[in-house]
């Protein structure tokens, strides 16, 4: 038996405080990319009681994703955005999730992210990350942007940090270790970066802007 | 004293495109802030860094 919406709210309010929980419930966050960063960010935000999430990803789940991405073996072949929506529903049934199977481009970014004052960049390719960050900072100056860069390799998890680059642009990662260097991509370390991003989002919603 | 990513560098008088190249960044992987504001990609060549400016070149790496 699934608890009611009120039961969920009260359980979270007992952990976070009622005033803060109201802010989380009223928040809308877009997650661009539903891979190692995005799937973990979305789950953390849904578990915290964020009211509305938009998941945007064009890709399908592959067996190589399962070391770090929040999917199940029987979901291989499905679109990530849609599979993540299903998984989020099992975790947080009252979180309003929109799944968009689309490739984000400079042309569609503003329309896709309209109505979402907080955006997480959770792509894997460096060029795509730069494209999204530039497009948002240039065209959506009111948007809070939380991006990830540098979580590959088995280097210490402690190297992963959150930096505040400008008033509305936060960057999480070690800023250095590129997956293209061939040093591997370890689920736990990717999760550390995703947790930095998700936690930064919660702090922004709470009105805490320092890092 | 012009700062690039927190370090004092001799870049006064250069434009952003020249600075990105000088430090060996891939232009397709960067976002550049000048005194806390984003520099649009289309304006890299015409944006010249002045004395006492603070420049931040964020160079993204892959993985996610």
8-state DSSP, B59: E
- What backbone torsions phi and psi does residue A107 show, to the nearest 5 degrees? -75, -40
The answer to whether the Cβ–Cβ distance between A134 and B33 falls below 8 Å is no
Residue with tokens 């680059």: A165
Q: Which of chain B's residues have a Cβ under 8 Å away from the Cβ of A185?
A: 63
Q: Which residues have CB under 8 Å from A154's CB, separation 6+?
A: A183, A184, A186, A189
Minimum Cα–Cα distance from A134: chain B residue: B31
* Closest-CA residue to A43 (of A11, A77, A68, A74): A68
E runs forming strands in chain A? 28-32, 52-56, 96-100, 118-121, 144-148, 161-166, 169-173
Residue A71 lies inside a defined structural domain of this protein: yes
Contact present, A60 and A77 (Cβ < 8 Å): yes
Q: Does domain B3-59 have CATH number 3.40.1190.10?
A: no
Domain of residue A168, CATH code = 3.40.50.720
Contact A185 B30 (CB under 8 A): no
Q: Flag whether A180 is in a domain.
A: yes
In a domain, A107, yes or no: yes
Please enumerate in sequence order all residues whose Cβ is within 8 A of that of A163, keeping only pairs 6 or more positions apart, or say none: A170, A171, A172, A175, A211
> How buried is residue A50: exposed, middle or buried, by Cβ count under 10 Å (0-12/13-18/19+)?
buried
Choose the closest CB to A134 out of B26, B41, B64: B41
Instruction: List pLDDT tens digits, range B7-62.
Output: 999 999 999 999 999 999 999 999 999 999 999 999 999 999 999 999 999 999 99
State the pLDDT at residue B1. 79
Chain B residue with Cα closest to A38:
B64
Nearest to A133 among B26, B28, B31 (CB): B31
Closest Cα in chain B to A132: B31
Residues 6+ apart with CB under 8 A from A48: A12, A16, A24, A198, A202
Residues 46-105 of A with CB under 8 A from B: none
Q: Is A161 helix (H, G, I), strand (E, B) or coil?
A: strand
Does any domain span residue A158? yes
For B:11-40, CB contacts with A below 8 A are 26, 28-31, 33, 36-38, 40
Count of domains observed in chain A: 1
pLDDT of A24 reads 98
Contact in structure between A119 and A145 (CB atoms under 8 Å): yes
A210: in domain: no
Q: Report how many Cβ contacts below 8 Å link chain A to chain B.
A: 81
The helix or strand, by DSSP H or E, that contains position B8, with its residue range, turns out to be: strand B7-8
Find, in chain A, the residue whose alpha carbon is nearest to that of B28: A127
Quick check: A30 and A113 in contact, CB under 8 A? yes
Domain limits at A138?
Answer: 5-205
Instruction: Choose among A52, A75, A49: nearest CA to A62.
Output: A75
pLDDT in single tens digits along all 211 residues of chain A: 999 999 999 999 999 999 999 999 999 999 999 999 999 999 999 999 999 999 999 999 999 999 999 999 999 999 999 999 999 999 999 999 999 999 999 999 999 999 999 999 999 999 999 999 999 999 999 999 999 999 999 999 999 999 999 999 999 999 999 999 999 999 999 999 999 999 999 999 999 999 9
DSSP A117: S
A149–B61 CB contact, under 8 Å: yes
Contacts with B31 from chain A: Cβ below 8 Å: 130, 133-134, 137
Best to test chain A binding among B32, B36, B60 (most A CBs inside 10 Å)? B60
A195 C-beta neighbours (distance < 10 Å), count: 17
Domain-embedded: residue A148: yes
Residue A87 lies in a domain: yes
d(CA A146, CA A103): 19
């Amino acid at each position: 038996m699934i608890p009611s919406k009120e039961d969920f709210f009260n359980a979270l309010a007992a952990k976070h405080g009622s005033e803060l929980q109201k802010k989380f419930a009223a928040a809308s966050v877009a997650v661009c990319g539903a891979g190692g960063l995005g799937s973990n960010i979305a789950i953390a935000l849904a578990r915290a009681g964020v009211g509305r999430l938009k998941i945007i990803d064009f890709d399908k789940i592959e067996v190589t994703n399962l070391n770090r991405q929040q999917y199940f073996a029987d979901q291989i072949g499905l679109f990530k955005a849609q599979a993540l929506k299903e998984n989020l529903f099992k975790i947080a049934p009252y979180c309003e999730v929109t799944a968009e199977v689309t490739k984000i481009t400079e042309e569609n970014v503003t329309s896709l992210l309209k109505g979402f004052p907080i955006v997480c960049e959770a792509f894997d390719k460096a060029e795509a990350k730069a494209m999204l960050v530039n497009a948002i900072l240039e065209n959506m100056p009111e948007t809070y942007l939380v991006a990830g860069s540098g979580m590959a390799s088995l280097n210490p998890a402690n190297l992963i940090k959150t930096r505040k680059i400008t008033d509305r642009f936060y960057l999480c990662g070690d800023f250095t270790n590129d997956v293209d260097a061939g040093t591997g991509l370890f689920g736990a370390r990717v999760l550390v970066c995703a947790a930095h991003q998700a936690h930064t989002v919660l702090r922004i919603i709470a009105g805490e802007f320092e890092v | 004293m012009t700062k690039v990513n927190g370090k004092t560098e001799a870049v006064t008088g250069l434009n952003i495109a020249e600075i990105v190249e000088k430090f060996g960044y891939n232009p397709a992987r960067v976002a550049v802030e000048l005194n806390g504001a984003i520099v649009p990609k289309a304006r890299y060549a015409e944006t010249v860094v002045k004395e006492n400016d603070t420049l931040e070149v964020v160079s993204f790496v892959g993985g996610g």
